[in-house]
A = this chain, B = another copy of it.
Amino acid sequence: MTPQALLDRVRIVLCRTSHPGNIGAAARAMKVMGLSRLYLVQPLCAVDEVAAARAAGADDVLASAVVCGSLVDALAGCVQAVALSARLRDLGPAAVGVREAVPSLLRMTADGDVALVFGNETSGLANDELQRCQQAVTIPSNPDFSSLNLGAAVQVMAYELRMAAWGGLPPAPTTPATPFRSAPAAIDEVERFYAHLECVLVATGFHDPARPRRLLPKLRRLFGRAALEKDEINILRGILDSVEKPTGPRWQGGAADTEPHGK
C-alpha cells in the first residue's frame, strides 16, 4: 500500500464535541497531513460557520464528515480503535505513547479501517467509550498542565501518522506463521460476541447485572489484548451456542438427572 492509501484507512472519530471551532481545527489538521475521514459521534454543537472558518480550506473534510448516533456506529467495520486518553483509567486498555503505537496501527490498515477516538473537550472519553477501544494512546505532555486542545491533539496525531506512513514503517515484529491464522475480527463482530457472552453468563448465573463486579470490563480487557481473529470469533460464538443449547453425549450440566436437552 502507498503511504496515502494507509492514511485513507484512518478514521478520526470525535465524540460529543462541544465547540464548532475545534471541529473545524480538527478538519484542517487532518487535511494538512493527508487525512480525510472525519466521524462525529453525537456532536454537541453544529458544524457551522465557526467550524468552516477554522477549517480554513478543509471544507471538503467537514462536508464529508459522517455524523453518528453512537461510537459503535462510527467504528462499524473497523479492525482497530485507539482511544486518545490524557489520564489513566481503571477501566479500558492500558495506554502507550503515540510514537510507539502509530506504526502498528498503520500496519493494521492492511486488514481494514482503523480509528482514532477523541473525547469531549472537558470530560474526555466516557468509560463505556474507552472500553469500545482495543488500545489507548497518550500524547506525552507536561504533567502539571496536560490540557491539550482537541484540535491540537488531532494535529499531533495526524502529524505522527503522516510521519510514520511516509517514513517507511519499521518491519513488523515477526510472528510465527501458523495455519490457524485468520483475518482480524471487525469491531462489530467482537461487539456481538461480547453481547452474546454477557447473555450466556447471565443465563448460567455467573453474571448478575445487578451486581456486575466489573466482570464485563475485565473480560473486554482480556479479549481486547488477544486481538481476536474472525475464526476465533466463530469458535467462541459456537461455544456460547453450545452452552445455550447443549447437545453433548456427556452433558452433565443443568440437569444431571434427566436426559440431555435436545436429544
Contact B32 A178 (CB under 8 A): no
Q: Complex: how many Å from CA A188 to CA B159?
A: 34
Asked if A51 lies at the interface with its beta carbon under 8 angstroms from chain B, I say: no
Q: How does the 8 Å CB contact mask read for A87-120 relative to B, with 1 for contact and 0 for none?
A: 0111100111101000000000000000000000
Q: Complex: how many Å from CA A206 to CA B49?
A: 57
A141 CB contact (under 8 Å) in B33, B146, B201, B227: B33
Indicate whether A242 sits within 8 Å of B146 (C-beta atoms), given known contacts A88-B178, A178-B221, A258-B254: no
Asked if A143 lies at the interface with its beta carbon under 8 angstroms from chain B, I say: yes
Contacts of A258 in B (CB 8 A): 254-255, 258
Residues of A within 8 A of B (CB-CB), count: 94
Contact B178 A243 (CB under 8 A): no
**Cβ < 8 Å to B, chain A residues 229-246:** 229, 231-232, 235, 238-239, 241-246
Q: Complex: how many Å from CA A232 to CA B218?
A: 8
Contact B149 A180 (CB under 8 A): no
Tell me the number of copies of this protein.
2
A180 CB contact (under 8 Å) in B217, B242, B243, B252: B217
Asked if A57 lies at the interface with its beta carbon under 8 angstroms from chain B, I say: yes
Contacts of A180 in B (CB 8 A): 90-91, 214, 217-218, 221
Contact B250 A254 (CB under 8 A): no
Distance (whole angstroms) from the CB of A189 to the closest CB of chain B: 15
Q: Complex: how many Å from CA A173 to CA B56?
A: 36
Contact A251 B170 (CB under 8 A): no
Distance (whole angstroms) from the CB of A33 to the closest CB of chain B: 6
Contacts of A260 in B (CB 8 A): 205, 254
